[in-house]
Amino acid sequence: MDDPEGPDPTALTARGRTTRHKVYKQFIEEASKLYGNALVNTAVEIPMVIGAYALISRMRVISSPGIAEKAEAALRTIVDICFSPNKFILELHQEIDRGRLDLLRDFSRAAREELSALKY
């Protein structure tokens, strides 16, 4: 028998937060692996790219539009790097010094803000 008052909003918020957290975490892990591979290899890991885009599609369903846009921008940059010459250690060090190595910073920040807003 259904609850006449409907589902518990707190439970829905907690479940939504947990689901988003899992998707965001999985995307960060997948994108990081792709990024690391792109820096040192010229081969594109097509199944991993497709998997990352699948996670972005899930974000479009469960998250605010800005989250998916930031994830897609990061992944687009990573794919572009796949088609660029490999980086050498000195270049990576320079990228770190310039603060340009963390391609997931904007996505991570937006995801944290959204998850914080879902606290009950």
Query: With pLDDT > 70 as the criterion, what percentage of the chain qualifies?
Result: 74
DSSP 17-78: HHHHHHHHHHHHHHHHHHHHHHHH-SS--HHHHHHHHHHHHHHHHHS-HHHHHHHHHHHHHH
Using one digit for the tens of pLDDT, what is the confidence trace for 55-106? 999 999 999 999 999 999 999 999 888 877 666 666 666 666 666 667 899 9
Confidence of residue 7 (pLDDT cuts 50, 70, 90): very low
Residues 6+ apart with CB under 8 A from 28: 104, 107, 108
Checking if the pLDDT of 5 tops 80, the result is: no
